[in-house]
Structure 1
Amino acid sequence: MIPVKRLILTTDSSAAGALQRAGLADLVIAIEHRLVWGPLPSEEELEAFLRRVRCSLEAFIGWTTRRHGVSKSRD
């Protein structure tokens, strides 16, 4: 069984740093784009933003599996 890790998503990078320093999560990701008001970001801006989030999540998953010697396959 894979141990559960604590992941927090927040809308503020300052809050993300404080949460991580307080030891409340193994990974904190600040999602700073507000997609509820105003013009939509360009396709390129949105893709770049989502790429950064995806890289952070992939790094977290890789760190978790390496730390606990767990294979990524579910066979």
Structure 2
Amino acid sequence: MPTVPAILGFGAIAIDDIVYVDQPLSAGKGKVLQSARAFGGNVATALAAVVRLGGTAGFAGWLGSAADDAVLRDL
């Protein structure tokens, strides 16, 4: 039987694409050294903290059909 979450969050999940470059953008074009993707948002971060502390949590929100939304569905 599925577990019913003790806390249910409503909101939006943020996706941050972080790009590290070799020089300040004010200096002109630069070379990408590294990139990373991070997930967050106020609701998602709070729910993750609940789970880390031993609680159960769920999320309700809207997803579109974009590729980024497919990544979120798979989390």
TM-score, with normalisation over the residues of structure 2?
A: 0.32
Which of 1 and 2 has greater Rg?
2
Structure with greater contact order relative to length (CA < 8 Å, sep ≥ 6):
2
Normalising by structure 1, we get a TM-score of: 0.32
- Would you tell me which structure has more strand in proportion to its own residues? 2
* Structure with the bigger percentage of helix: 1
